[in-house]
Chain A
Amino acid sequence: KAGVTQTPRYLIKTRGQQVTLSCSPISGHRSVSWYQQTPGQGLQFLFEYFSETQRNKGNFPGRFSGRQFSNSRSEMNVSTLELGDSALYLCASSPLGTGGPNTEAFFGQGTRLTVV
């Protein structure tokens, strides 16, 4: 079974630009969560999607948004990039909703975003 796939792996953007990151979950997984990982802040929860609906959201500004498609693939978008947005963005999929509560999250390798 293929794992969680995130594209692209690396990205360099200029301040003020916008960026879209993509995540393909494990086949059959309907829940997709996004995290921002920085050296100082660890793993910070951005949002979670399930069956194309955002179910949960972390404490990030409105510049961070996401969506999920009918095939469970998800994208996250960051508009008006700031230097502080430089981070590793991780996507995790889970069989939540099919496997019951308290199920494992499977992470992708992440997209390394650098804002210059």
Chain B
Amino acid sequence: GENVEQHPSTLSVQEGDSAVIKCTYSDSASNYFPWYKQELGKGPQLIIDIRSNVGEKKDQRIAVTLNKTAKHFSLHITETQPEDSAVYFCAVTEYSGGYQKVTFGTGTKLQVIP
């Protein structure tokens, strides 16, 4: 099955700095890569996603890059703010046989220090 590794497990940055979280995966058939943000006491919420035919996607301060050859993708948050503090999960999705198989990374706890 798919194996997803996410690093780092914890990350502390000063407000205004950038944060980068990286994930690697094993199954080359995977073709959809969402990132989720989970705030305390809430369920994960999608913040950005990328499909296998795209190398980079940006949405305001958040960007995701995908290297299919190397099987890794990264989340980039620029100009971090205290409200960015949360746990971030990457996910790898393979669509086959009419349904999706989703595997999540182990999560990164991001702390933005004011």
Residue ranges of A at the interface with B (Cβ–Cβ < 8 Å): 4, 31, 33, 35, 41-43, 45, 48, 50, 55-56, 90, 92, 94, 96-97, 101-110
Expressed in whole angstroms, the minimum distance between the Cβ of A8 and any Cβ of chain B is: 15
Interface of B is mostly: strand
Q: Which chain B residues (78-113) contact chain A, with CB distance < 8 Å?
A: 89, 93, 95, 98-107
Could you tell me which B residues sit within 8 Å of A by CB distance?
Answer: 31-32, 34, 36, 41-46, 49, 51, 89, 93, 95, 98-107
How far does the alpha carbon of A50 sit from the alpha carbon of B101 in the complex, in Å? 13
Q: Are A42 and B93 touching (Cβ within 8 A)?
A: no
Question: Which residues of A are found within 8 Å of B102, using beta-carbon distances?
Answer: 33, 45, 105
- With A48-B99, A102-B100, A107-B45 given, can you name 8 additional A-B contacts, CB distance below 8 Å? A31-B99, A33-B102, A42-B89, A45-B104, A102-B31, A102-B93, A107-B36, A109-B42
Number of A-B contacts (CB under 8 A): 56
